[in-house]
């Protein structure tokens, strides 16, 4: 099955840059021996959409964990910051209060201790690192809620990882930024050589056909 189109764009975005290697859909789930493990809720894996590694970098910049949210109506920065920070003190909810799809489950590795533990374990297994950059890739920011620094500077989320011996940098990456960076690379080429990635080649063809301008 084809990956989400945003995942494909993100893969191209990383592999076109020096030193980056990516892996898709890295699965993880809580350890059965964890004190909060619940077989009814925790038997299904979650996954890291894209795990990117660059041995040329150091610290939090060496490993990027990318979660792709290709929501057509955009990403509400303040909404999700407030929601995840307010729920960050809960490892789970009483069964009587559970909803069909609780908001925190879109970012369970940022909220639940048991999911965070398994997330950091798989990160260490795959990369040998627990310090990382957490990238939220989105189609766009909601116009009334577009100050992404509000989320990126969340001390509550960062301190939850710090308490587990992990440093995290948070980045919100928009589709517009991705396209702008690819466009800048194409524009600055000394010679017109084919792009190495699918999205780069498509843009290059659209420019050549003058369907869009650089």
- Residue 186: its pLDDT value, please? 73
Q: What is the mean pLDDT of residues 128-146?
A: 90
Whether residue 150 is predicted with pLDDT greater than 60 in this model: the reply is: yes
What is the SS3 assignment for 25?
strand
- Give the ranges where the chain is alpha helix by DSSP (H): 5-15, 39-42, 77-87, 113-127, 149-152, 155-162, 175-187, 198-208
CA–CA dist 34, 121 (Å, integer): 13
Whether residue 152 is predicted with pLDDT greater than 60 in this model: the reply is: yes
**Candidate from 58-62, 145-149, 209-213 with smallest mean pLDDT:** 209-213
Q: In percent, how much of the chain has pLDDT > 90? A: 45
CA–CA dist 115, 90 (Å, integer): 12
Q: Among candidates 79, 53, 89, 55, which has minimal Cα distance to 142?
A: 79
Q: Among candidates 44, 22, 32, 11, which has minimal Cα distance to 126?
A: 22
- Residue 193: its pLDDT value, please? 72
Whether residue 116 is predicted with pLDDT greater than 50 in this model: the reply is: yes
Q: Among candidates 49, 3, 57, 61, which has minimal Cα distance to 22?
A: 49
Ordered DSSP codes for 92-136: ---GGG--SS-GGGGGGGGT-HHHHHHHHHHHHHHHS-S-EEEEE
- What is the torsional sign of CA 57, 60, 63, 66? negative
- What is the torsional sign of CA 63, 137, 212, 146? negative
CA–CA dist 82, 151 (Å, integer): 9
- Residue 155: its pLDDT value, please? 96
CA–CA dist 42, 105 (Å, integer): 12
Query: Per residue in 69-113, pLDDT tens?
Result: 989 889 999 989 998 988 655 444 444 555 555 777 889 899 988
Query: Per residue in 157-178, pLDDT tens?
Result: 999 999 999 999 999 999 989 8
What is the SS3 assignment for 169?
strand
CB–CB of 115/30 below 8 Å?
A: yes
């Amino acid at each position: 099955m084809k990956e989400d189109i945003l995942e494909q764009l993100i893969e191209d975005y990383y592999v076109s840059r020096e030193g980056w290697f990516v892996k898709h859909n890295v699965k993880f789930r809580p350890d059965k021996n964890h004190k909060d493990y619940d077989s009814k809720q925790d038997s299904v894996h979650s996954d890291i959409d894209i795990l990117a590694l660059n041995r040329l970098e150091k610290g939090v910049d060496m490993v990027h964990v990318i979660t792709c949210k290709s929501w057509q109506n955009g990403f509400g920065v303040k909404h999700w910051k407030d929601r995840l920070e307010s729920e960050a003190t809960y490892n789970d909810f009483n069964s009587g209060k559970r909803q069909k799809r609780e908001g925190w489950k879109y970012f369970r590795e940022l909220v639940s201790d048991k999911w965070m533990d398994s997330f950091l374990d798989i990160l260490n297994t795959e990369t040998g690192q627990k310090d990382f950059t957490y990238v939220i890739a989105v189609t766009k920011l909601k116009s009334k809620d577009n100050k992404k620094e509000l989320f990126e500077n969340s001390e509550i989320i960062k301190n939850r990882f710090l308490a587990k011996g992990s440093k995290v940098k948070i980045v919100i990456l928009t589709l517009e930024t991705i396209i702008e960076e690819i466009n800048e690379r194409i524009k600055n080429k000394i010679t017109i050589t084919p792009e190495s990635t699918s999205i780069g080649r498509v843009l290059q063809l659209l420019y050549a056909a003058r369907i869009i301008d650089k």
